[in-house]
Amino acid sequence: NIDKIDEIQRTVWDILKYCPTIIDTRKGKNGWDPWLVSYAKHHQLVVVTWERRWPWRVPNVCKDFQVECIDLLTFLRELEIQL
C-alpha cells in the first residue's frame, strides 16, 4: 500500500542521511543496501549478508535501525543445512 511505500522511502532517506557513504559507487557499492534494510524493517524481515560489522556496512546499519541481521552461515545453521 502507498503508506508502507512512503514509510520505506522515508527510512531510506534516514539511512542515507545517517551514513551517506553506504552507496559510494566509486568503491563499487550499489545503491540497494538502504532499500534492503528499509524494506526488512517495515516488513519485519531478517537481512542475511556476508558482510561483517564495519562502519557503514549493512550489519551496522541494520543494528542502528533495529533490523535483525545475520550472516549466511548462521542462516544455514538455523535452517539445519549442513555443508
pLDDT 10s digits, 29-71 = 668 899 999 999 999 999 999 887 666 688 999 999 999 999 8
Judge whether residue 24 has pLDDT over 90: no
pLDDT score at 82? 73
The answer to whether 48 and 70 have CB atoms below 8 angstroms apart is: yes
Whose CA is closest to 8, among 32, 35, 33? 35
Q: Who contacts 55 (Cβ-Cβ below 8 Å, separation ≥6)?
A: 19
d(CA 60, CA 64): 6
Q: Residue 62: its pLDDT value, please?
A: 95
Q: What is the pLDDT of residue 26?
A: 72
Q: What's the pLDDT band for 22 if we cut at 50, 70, 90?
A: confident
